[in-house]
Amino acid sequence: MAQRALIVDDEPDIRELLEITLGRMKLDTRCARNVKEAREWLAREPFDLCLTDMRLPDGTGLELVQLIQQRYPQTPVAMITAYSSLDTAINALKAGAFDFLTKPVDLARLRELVATALRLRSPQDEGDGSVDSRLLGDSPPMRALRKQIAKLSRSQAPVYISGESGSGKELVARLIHELGPRTEQPFVPVNCGAIPSELMESEFFGHKKGSFTGAVEDKPGLFKAADGGTLFLDEVADLPLPMQVKLLRAIQEKAVRAVGGQQEIAVDVRILSATHKDLASEVTAGRFRQDLYYRLNVIELNVPPLRERREDIALLAERALQRLAVDCGMPPARLSSDALEKLKSYRFPGNVRELENMLERAYTLCEDDQIEAGDLRLGDAPTQGGGDGASGNLAQIDDLEDFLENIERQAIMQALEETRWNRTAAAQRLGLSFRSMRYRLKKLGID
């Protein structure tokens, strides 16, 4: 049976253009001239897609978006609006529209939008099983987050994911991508704070051979790499102002021009962004452009910190310890009741990432496969400070990881050489349990 689309527009020429284009895509179409006729068609038969103009003789397309969201959530609806009315289109996205088109309608863009919409699974088929498998927790904040992810995966609206460092923002972005119609296409994450400013334009938009010293071949860039899929801009607040201008243009025009290139190339990319900073405060301080902020923050999704969902700590700890055991080829460790209570009373400024690092350390220190409160070394950990204040400390710790790993490797290698590679004797010399020694040898790849 052919898939069915409802076209709602009071202009006969637009209706005919949309009918012909969708007909060539093998869709069965129905047409309505106003909100009343659209309501009648929606009540009469199911649709796989709805395209509606914003301005209609007896109402607005926004009314239809809201109606379809409430009564026919399985039907994605796209808004057609004048280019000068982008604010209206953004309001439609916030109300639940799948995507929008601007007049005059670009037929290539229309076909892309329709193809993407038809790849959506129905909400009943989706459930949130795949979200549950990685986004752990049964607390009310996490149940609400899973529902929001499932809903946002059915839209093409830009989503700004806010939350503290270590709370799982990239995982949330990946799930939005994987549950949506772009799941077969690339998910391209980029840490905006890790790219040198002089290379940013080339990294994002690509470059042509010979366009600057060192450009020995053509490079497509991140936008092109994500074409058809999702580009995740992590730590977007770290973008310098000149790059923000260029990024805004690329998002608005849905096209990029490589450094040294003469032509703009169309790209079909969904933008997800995140930062641990308060982006609204960055705008107020003049460090982030307000117009870019509004284009990225069409819908905001907040990832709750671990201290606001303490009832999830036991499950998160259990899964982390299971994963460590598998990675090391050793028996899983258990948390004593005292250790679990200690974790539940800790503030976790570094969130889930800090919990995992803490358990990894405790796993190597514990005896008899049981982690006691003392193994957690919480006396050495950051105290009850707020999440924001600790994020800078965590960034410094992350920067030191390679340095500390090298010191650890050198100390272990020296002990092994001095004991003629007797691992038990080397462990005793370093003050480690044999279990801890085995774990470290495996982690560092020392055979």
Q: Rounded CA gap, 279 and 290, in Å?
A: 10
pLDDT tens sequence across 420-436 = 788 888 888 888 887 78
Residue 317 pLDDT level (bands cut at 50, 70, 90): very high
Q: Rounded CA gap, 102 and 86, in Å?
A: 8
Q: Rounded CA gap, 429 and 211, in Å?
A: 57
Region of poorest pLDDT, from 29-33, 364-368, 370-374, 378-382: 378-382
199 secondary structure, DSSP code:
G
CA-atom Rg of the chain in angstroms:
26
pLDDT at 301: 96
**What structural domains and CATH numbers belong to the chain?**
4-118 (3.40.50.2300), 127-302 (3.40.50.300), 307-444 (1.10.8.60)
Q: Rounded CA gap, 368 and 373, in Å?
A: 14
- Going from the C-alpha of 224 to that of each of 96, 218, 220, 246, 317, the distances in angstroms are 27, 12, 6, 15, 39
Q: What's the whole-number mean pLDDT along residues 13-32? A: 96
pLDDT tens sequence across 249-259 = 999 989 999 98
Q: What's the whole-number mean pLDDT along residues 110-118? A: 94
Region of poorest pLDDT, from 5-9, 12-16, 29-33, 368-372: 368-372
Helix ranges restricted to H, 226-287: 241-253, 279-284
Bridging pattern class, strands 4-8 and 159-162: unpaired
Does 320 score more than 90 pLDDT?
A: yes
Q: Rounded CA gap, 155 and 151, in Å?
A: 7
Q: Rounded CA gap, 230 and 400, in Å?
A: 31
pLDDT at 394: 43
Region of poorest pLDDT, from 81-95, 125-139, 207-221, 353-367: 125-139
- Residues whose CB is less than 8 angstroms from the CB of residue 263 and which lie 6 or more positions away in sequence, other chains included: 257
Q: Rounded CA gap, 54 and 87, in Å?
A: 12
pLDDT at 131: 62
Q: Rounded CA gap, 260 and 258, in Å?
A: 6
Q: Rounded CA gap, 209 and 216, in Å?
A: 5
Residue 401 pLDDT level (bands cut at 50, 70, 90): low
Does 103 score more than 90 pLDDT?
A: no
Q: Rounded CA gap, 52 and 35, in Å?
A: 9
Coil vs helix vs strand at 100: strand
Does 122 score more than 70 pLDDT?
A: no
Dihedrals phi, psi of 157, to nearest 5 degrees: -65, 140
Region of poorest pLDDT, from 328-342, 375-389, 408-422: 375-389
pLDDT at 367: 83
Task: Tell me the percentage of the chain whose pLDDT exceeds 90.
Answer: 61
Does 282 score more than 60 pLDDT?
A: yes
Q: What's the whole-number mean pLDDT along residues 281-305? A: 95
Region of poorest pLDDT, from 36-50, 277-291, 301-315, 374-388: 374-388
Does 382 score more than 50 pLDDT?
A: no
Does 29 score more than 80 pLDDT?
A: yes
DSSP labels, 290-338: HHHHHHH-SEEEEPPPGGG-GGGHHHHHHHHHHHHHHHHTSPPPEE-HH
Residue pointed to by tokens 């870019």: 292
Angle between helices 351-365 and 434-444 (to 10 degrees): 130
- Going from the C-alpha of 444 to that of each of 98, 329, 424, 437, 447, the distances in angstroms are 47, 14, 17, 11, 9
Q: Rounded CA gap, 9 and 35, in Å?
A: 9
CB 419 within 8 A of CB 429: yes
Work out the angle at residue 271's Cα, subtended by the Cα atoms of residues 22 and 353, and round it to the nearest 5 degrees. 140
Helical (H) or strand (E) element with 266: strand 265-266
Work out the angle at residue 30's Cα, subtended by the Cα atoms of residues 107 and 79, and round it to the nearest 5 degrees. 50
Closest CA to 103 of 6, 18, 43: 18
pLDDT at 129: 52
How far separated are the first and last CA of the chain, in Å rounded? 61
Does 381 score more than 50 pLDDT?
A: no
- Residues whose CB is less than 8 angstroms from the CB of residue 246 and which lie 6 or more positions away in sequence, other chains included: 201, 204, 205
Residue 44 pLDDT level (bands cut at 50, 70, 90): very high
Q: What is the pTM of this model?
A: 0.79
Helix ranges restricted to H, 25-138: 35-44, 61-71, 86-95, 107-118, 123-126, 129-134
Helix ranges restricted to H, 135-286: 140-152, 169-178, 200-205, 222-225, 241-253, 279-284
Does 96 score more than 60 pLDDT?
A: yes
How confident is the prediction for the chain on average, in pLDDT?
87
pLDDT at 329: 84
pLDDT at 220: 87
Higher pLDDT, 89 or 28: 28
Strand ranges for 344-424 from DSSP E: 370-371
Region of poorest pLDDT, from 57-71, 115-129, 197-211, 305-319: 115-129
CB 259 within 8 A of CB 213: no
Q: What's the whole-number mean pLDDT along residues 12-37? A: 96
CB 53 within 8 A of CB 9: yes
